[in-house]
Structure 1
Amino acid sequence: MSKLNGRIYLFTFLVLLIAGFALSAGCTGSSGADKTPAATAAPTAEETTAATPEETAVKTPQPTPVSGEEKASLSGKGDVNASVELAGGVHLLTFTQDKADKSEIAVRTEKDYIGLTNLYNEKVADKSMKDGKYYWTQAFMLEEDAVADVEVYADSEWTLDFSFPQMINGIVPQTFTGAGNKATPFFQINEGDYNISIKADNNQLIEVHLMDYYGNPVMVDNAEMPLAYHEGAYDNVVTVKITESCNYLMNVICDGEWTVSIEEA
């Protein structure tokens, strides 16, 4: 073999060897079929918390606080109109005032109107105080995110807060007491029949309305249950059928003092 042919063969061998390395390097990645499946996130401790032994139904998921925003607040003296950005869903309205005077609040959006009035009977007004001021609460629901027009009618200095209702890790039976308008915390009520005992004294009116954590009222024949409206003192038991296991609260509208209890029928 001539020296020239030997050099050509050696050169050709080196070229083929380099090409082989290049092809090998381009194939080191895995194909789609060989990819390892993405890891599934492990549930947090909160998600795996077991229900207490007394509970006979799986608890409903915890509601998400109103879009996660921080509590919205207004303050003023006398009559005020303002705009507040609120998320869709359930809200707790807390109104605090210096004097035990009548107060009225209206919340308006394109789809919703909520009108609330609070009165205090002089005999029981001091039972609705916190940090030296009079206060009342009510829960309500907005269908969607909105910039709400808020109207406040009051005589003294006041503060208006919007937040998410309190939740308690409780089931039936439950008893709540108070004076003036108040919303109870959310608590678990399983499907079934329940007796709701309502007692009101030193009052002109009393209403008690069940609301689930989606903001839906419990209705029978277009009347909010367990008590749509009653004038004067009240002491009675109302049986209510709950058709869906869920977290519920009760909005109590009363100018006097009241006690509401719920137990299985």
Structure 2
Amino acid sequence: MSDPIKKISILGCGWLGLPLGAELVRSGFSVYGSTTSPEKLETLEAAGIQAHLIEVGETLTGDIDDFFRTDLLILNIPPGRRRPDVADRYPAEIKLVVDQALAQGTSRIIFISSTSVYPDLNRVITEEDAPAADSGSGLALVRCEQYLATLPDLSLTILRMAGLAGGNRKPGRFLAGKTDVSNGRAPVNMVHRDDCIAIIQEVIRESALGDTFNICADQHPSRKEFYRHQAQKDGFEPPTFAPEGETHYKIISNQKIKDRLQYTFRYPDPMDF
């Protein structure tokens, strides 16, 4: 039987990691969090998180030994869409981090991935579908997932998040003012930050570790419906969409996580974000 989880380290305490860490502190865990910004150290400490300044690049720098000696490591550093050579650089950085964690005796990792690992197959996508991204950040995530899955002494949980919204991340801003946007009929796959945080907590509480889950809201309005509605709600200029042509899409199924955790989404319809 695995040792109980008492200490959790979150690599990346930004938009998702900071409020997640604060909730885990309130749930009684000892939470260690990393940031690359010295000015954010006080913010983390104020949330009850033991803050560490850690940089991940060609090398791993900062107060790393204590941070990576943990019962559970949550890898929450995104690949970054605009980084050059992201498909090679990001997996190398994740390997650097995981090697350090394994060296410190950490055996449980939650990896925050994305539904961008799936191709557009014009049908419902489940966790049984093989990741098949072929460029950019999606390929970087696929390579990370594949690498992590090869490690024999690791209890690995992969959470593939849909498009993220909530907090100060206003989806109405994403396409505001754009014209002739394509693929307007395609269903969107979105998830609210509150659900991401609640599901991660439940995964830990219910020991639903060692598996892969899609994290996505129940409903899938069209891109046209969703982004025009959100832009109007958030006070932005709504986008206009090109005449309908061929539609490329995927519909991400969340049934597995709902069945495993008996979870009911707080924001089942992205139109209510």
For normalisation by structure 1, the TM-score amounts to 0.27
Greater strand share, 1 or 2? 1
Q: Which has the higher contact order (CA 8 A, sep 6+)?
A: 1
Higher-helix-fraction structure: 2
Computing the radius of gyration from Cα coordinates, the structure with the larger value is: 1
